[in-house]
A and B are shown apart, each in its own frame.
Chain A
Amino acid sequence: MTLQTQPAQPVHGLSTLSAVSLSPEREEFMRRVGPTSQGSPAWRARKPVEARELLALETIAPRIEIIALDLTTELLAIVRMAVTVPCLARDGELVVVGQADLALCYPEEILHGPLPGYALVQIHRPRRVWHPNVSDDVAQRICLGANVPKGYPLREAVLGSYAALTLQSISLDQADPAGIMNPAALSYWNDHKARIPLSTAAFLDPPASAGARRAGGAP
């Protein structure tokens, strides 16, 4: 007896994003944004490449969803990500929520030179994130390092944000101010290293349920 099967779908990973087929709606979106994209010829050529990679990442990674994407001037995007996010509750307790909305701003200057590591990603939701590499202000900028190099791909900013928020990649060196955006959170996490990382799941793994959980201990 033979088993009739569907043609095998190619399995894509982070290294083959350019080969990922987008859904018809996403392809249509990419067609529509072209004429309204502004900037120098190099920037107009670069934005669709980065946007397509972001959409391809969404296609293969069940933990992210592109909520909004705008290529008019800067490349702006809101990415909803299933990820552990350490936050302060109203009572001052630390809670770990399961979802974040990341605001990405990818400016033309990235073509010309390195940018500060905090220039690309902000946490739009949730509020009151308690993380050494996230600024303790309204902007909630994630610092991905001392700087991001010229031409740094947007997908790397998404992957770097995931690694930072799960505490898989974290800077806890008080002597190195590069990357430290919240010294009080730095002290807290230095005292609670046993809780690091918050998750060991790989970026492409299916996400766990997104409910908030108490991490215990007031910072």
Chain B
Amino acid sequence: MNPTARITEIRARWSAAVRALRSLDRSARMPRLLDAPSQAGDPAACMRAQRVVVVGLGSVGLAISDLLSRASVAWLLLVDRAQIKPESVLTHPVQPCDIGCDKATLAGQRAKAVSPNTRVQVFSGPVAELPPDAFVGASAVFLSSDNLACELEVSQRCLQLGLPLIQASVHGPTLVAQVRSLANAAGGDGPCLACGYQASDWEALDRGTVFSCTGGPARWNGIPTVSPAHLCSLAASLAVTELLGRSAGLVPASESRLIEYCGFQHRTVVTPLLRRAECQRDHGRWQVVPWARRLATATPRELLAAAGCTDPQALAQVSLTVPGFRFRGLGMCACTRHPVIERFQRIGAESAPCTDCGSPLDFHPLYTHAQVPGIALRAQLDRSLGQLGADAADAVLVRRHDEVFLFHARKLPVPANSR
């Protein structure tokens, strides 16, 4: 994890316009749905209650973010690692003055300006560097990235947390706008994005291929997909309509499907998506456990007990991970062969000096763990994570047999707009 990349909050700049926007009756422009289920009676309320993550803020994702802010969703977490480039102006809903801006920050500022009551957070970095609890509390995740590694990372997180995933994409040469809508429903056996991967997709993943929608000459490992802006905004609209359908109960909660619109014939095809039995991804669901106080004050024993591991003999079957930290059991120094450390250390941090000779301690590769075996913690079970060096622990993963428990102390986003 990159310690410099952080989730940051976008705040409204107070003005008369903001006050006017805050007091708008935002339901007035949202229709009642004809012949809809009872919970769809107030679609505006359905959308206002949504807590949404958008990963990938290019031609499609930026349009999704704009549409969600106009629906006044409760919470938006916007994720992208890139900046607006000159060629982005051709396909993204941006202006030339936006060139050079962080995509996530720009999208966040625009969303907050349109919907001051929406809580808006942004992350300008790779999605893989988000903490594992970053999506906790979300009601849906939108994905419109340009690379398969990001796709798989987001798909895996949604599977683990049981979040609906709506992926929007386009194929310019066939004028196709496509939305994959994955239910990831509790108790379901639905598909993940990798269930649909063919051999060529895995090859593209290994090559790190980037399917950029900004056009222009192909860069190293880049394939421009030359996507017209109108097709991208159409894909975004289809995706947001799918969210409305899911939140209003128009789509069965356990149904996963592919929606394809083709501009050649103006035809739309909806196809069910099913899990592939031989999918190589782990389809296991995590148990998400809110922790009432700061995790730095929790001891390994408390966390293991909360995961159902109270028997000291069972330590051999559990492990504990503090994202962003490694546990160092032993060090190595020229003066002392294996000094005991038994502390967490932030990834990338300098080693503590040897207490005897002052020279930097080497880590011992066999006793350094990201996923710490329970056995390695047996002498430290009653010291808090903070005392063990993980004073900035935001989340902890405990694995016991095939079960994974995600402990987090995250304050869930509260809808600022409860009108």
Contact = CB atoms under 8 A, between A and B. Distances in A.
A44 B162 CA distance: 24
Chief secondary structure at chain B's binding surface: mixed
B149 interface: yes
A59 B370 CA distance: 30
B35 interface: no
Contacts of A129: none
A77 B54 CA distance: 40
Given A147-B206, A150-B202, A150-B206, A42 B282 contact: yes
Given A40-B402, A112-B156, A73 B351 contact: no
Interface string A26-56: 0000000001101111100000000000000
Given A73-B319, A112-B156, A147-B208, A40 B282 contact: yes
B316 A36 contact: yes
Interface stretch (A85-93, A103-111, A153-161, A180-188): A103-111
B362 A138 contact: yes
A136 interface: no
B205 A113 contact: yes
B284 interface: yes
B81 to A, nearest CB: 16
A122 interface: yes
Most chain B CB neighbours (cut-off 10 Å) among A72, A74, A146: A72
A72 B360 CA distance: 28
B286 to A, nearest CB: 12
Interface string A105-146: 101100111100000001010000000000000100000001
Contacts of A94: none
Nearest to A103: B365
Contacts of B319: 38, 72-73
Given A74-B369, A78-B365, A114 B282 contact: no
A76 B366 contact: yes
A78 B156 CA distance: 31
Nearest to B375: A72
A114 B148 CA distance: 11
A105 B367 CA distance: 11
B316 A138 contact: no
A73 B369 contact: yes
Given A147-B208, A150-B205, A124 B365 contact: yes
Nearest to B202: A150
A38 B284 contact: no
A8 interface: no
Nearest to A35: B316
A98 B203 CA distance: 38
Nearest to A178: B220
B338 to A, nearest CB: 12
A114 B205 contact: yes
Given A74-B371, A112-B280, A105 B399 contact: no
A149 interface: yes
A39 B317 CA distance: 9
A70 interface: yes
B62 interface: no
Interface string B339-367: 00000000000010000000010110110
A113 B149 CA distance: 7
Contact of B208 (A76, A112, A146): A146
B62 to A, nearest CB: 26
Contact of A68 (B366, B369, B372): B366
Contacts of B149: 113-114
A122 B375 contact: no
B366 A78 contact: yes
A29 to B, nearest CB: 15
Nearest to A137: B350
B360 A138 contact: yes
B253 to A, nearest CB: 26
A70 B205 contact: no
Contacts of A147: 206, 208
A105 B365 CA distance: 8
A122 B365 contact: yes
Contacts of B280: 42, 111-112
Contacts of B362: 124, 138
Contacts of B371: 38, 73-74, 108
Nearest to B316: A36
A150 B202 CA distance: 8
A147 B282 CA distance: 22
Given A112-B280, A112-B281, A138-B360, A72 B365 contact: no
A76 B373 contact: no
Given A40-B284, A113-B149, A73 B365 contact: no
Contacts of B298: none
A41 B399 CA distance: 13
Interface in B374-419: 375, 399, 402
A83 B205 CA distance: 33
Contacts of A108: 371
Nearest to A114: B206
Interface in B103-153: 149, 152
Interface of B: 149, 152, 156, 202, 205-206, 208, 280-282, 284, 316-319, 351, 360, 362-363, 365-366, 369-373, 375, 399, 402
6 contacts: A42-B282, A113-B149, A113-B205, A138-B362, A138-B363, A150-B202
